[in-house]
Structure 1
């Protein structure tokens, strides 16, 4: 539980936030009573949601380890959330100390705790920015100082795009990010889907509608479209427990909410975009 004597200015303690609720799902300590109550109610309307979030966190570890194994040494984690054990820089730098990592979020607690956690940690940075403004985000001084976009980057957008409304065109946003990345870059995405449990997911969406971050689950086919600028990395897109599992296979992986995978940026992305990427 977070110490109430330290709360960033402007925090609304009357409404739950997605980042703090996710921290509660993971058993973290940087959330408030309103977030824990929301997590409790979410577990009631969608039994297993906390377990699904832990499976998504395990996917992050496997995806980052895959990126390092492919020679990627730069990681941009957008919608990174509140720090818990097993962060991107801890995973990547354990395998290759020269890895550079930038975390991006726009939730005050997530940004504040990321800054505290990374004090004195080399080759890491934190940016307070909105993923719906890719040109502003990608030109932020912290990102420009740590990320060389002429070299491969792993872009992580895990459990965040379902908080982007349709009118912001999240699929087009992903394409705008991908156009800035060099060939050989990797895209890792997970996204909530209602395909297996539509009634429970509808109840969960209604619950999130009362938070500061309304959410929308989308179909596996829609999620697959986010990778249109990529070549699929085996085993392709799937429910997160099935992506390169390193332990016993879990029964009914479709019950784990999150669908996604990893793709490798095609060399033709910039030509296809018809836009300058500068």
Structure 2
């Protein structure tokens, strides 16, 4: 697909990860412009090696077919006014900033085809997942072009209501941190059982990574996989009796995701 010129504004962790995946998947460097005041040296070398362009500010006379905004929500207010020249009549704008609504972006960039997307950090290794919402100006061709770029980092799930992006943010956008914390908790529990701390961490880390890969490759759902390893009256059943007790893990996750969604909603204001 000829997607025209692609402008990436912001080359931090998420923007840099998307850029690397685009280049490795065959997006032509000549079609890419990266706008960032100070990308990491390794990423700058990658940009130059691919024949892409880099600028610290918006160059004169440049519009993009697709403009990706990989900016932190806290800086959107200050940065968006400087980007208006990038948006032409045929541009589609894609934002990955948590909490910032399409109405907010339109207030700075004008009415345009826009997509709100929420990827997550496993995109760095091609194993992310992205939730996305498109406004009514995004036609089928633009949507396909955006999805093509997002899918190099993992599956894309489109939602019908923009408000659902805040729930996506709470579940999958922030979700990797919950899994990393689970590893920390498991390792600490193992240490308290008498294992050396480094061994406990290796066991926890590889257990979670392996379980995730099994979940990825297996046709069975998570409930079936859990039941498959839970022998009646065994050690796993004893542990799950604690984790699945009333007031235990599920209510904590309910509260955690509700807090994350609330914060995403607060970032909109």
TM norm structure 1:
0.31
In proportion to residue count, which structure has more helix? 2
Larger relative contact order (C-alpha < 8 A, sep ≥ 6)?
1
Task: Determine which structure has more spread, i.e. the larger CA radius of gyration.
Answer: 2
